[in-house]
Structure 1
């Protein structure tokens, strides 16, 4: 299997001591390419630096997560636009709304999201989106940009059937993580993934978060990493009633087309 992890937070400090080994384990597990998530003013440049250090294997996004929305100043906007001048930055985000944690005030979240949606309009790049407990406002803001945006993926989808079909009705893509493997919170996804068209379904680890609970034995450090993407694909394929090799090929083809990646 030649897999593509569309969302790995490889700039996280938990990888600082063994990042090269993490990449090697990913390669050995069939993960050929990875998109490194940029989600703040600090980590978006680091994501680009990783992509530049591993051409053809790592790519980056650049954006500001709603948790960090208060840092989205005019200077921040200029920094994000400068990052998007690089072809190795393949999507705008991680951006969106998060009313579950409310780490930033909601008006600040909406303003930061709006400015990043404008970057997507101006650059023509796809969107790497985050939404949690903010569906109505999220859909309303996206509708304000209707007809001006390119492709969009709702990353780390964990939502309801209604939310899923709202996204699919907009022709957006869906990113599935190891949340699928969580018997406490993710059982509903086992049924919902059957309804996602193959050309709009992508997979991601969201490493170092969301270690699949069905990985046995569980690593003592509880850190997720891209090598576990193969496990997620196997679980996803079983739920969709298709061979794992087919799920791998389809999700990789969808990711390659969505992010406009060069051939492996």
Structure 2
């Protein structure tokens, strides 16, 4: 009875029937292909759980400061494009939720940040309109009305979107001489998550386009992480005074 309950708990969420038999019936705990699958599934679950709060530090930092200084709305929009592409492409290809689930939660948090940027620029109406338009477009992309070719092109656009998104943010950081309200916790979690996703996307989807997207994302997130470390002790007000002196 206990064995059957465990089987139902683990199969197919963490492993296949074959891998369950290898681990728990034949006690072959070093079966490499099954170990890869198990590690990939566990990493995917950890990434998804982490994604529930990965951008919350950024949101709270903006709310606490009542300012979105140092954050680029264009960069956030491009990042949202990349997240949306990954989510719609994964759903259209019926990839397992463990291989892309964080995109859903990152999307919700990213549109919140985009709205807050507009709100603290005094453009609350524009921010509200942005939310309505985005959700309408997302509904269209997820509907049967959108051809698979369009979804694939959207996913292919992820790489330039991620690159330009991070370049815009990096340029803004360099120009300001500080990272403003950019959250270190959020940046480092995104960097770690994108690195882990390289492995899980190869293991669970076998999709080269998905894997390559995460490679590019890891490099770009690494650049922002390096800037955060470089400007760690820089206070925005002092950076401004230094710039204009």
When normalised by structure 1's length, the TM-score is 0.21
Which is helix-richer, 1 or 2? 2
The TM-score, its normalising length taken from structure 2, stands at: 0.22
Which is richer in strand?
1
Task: Flag the structure with larger Rg.
Answer: 2
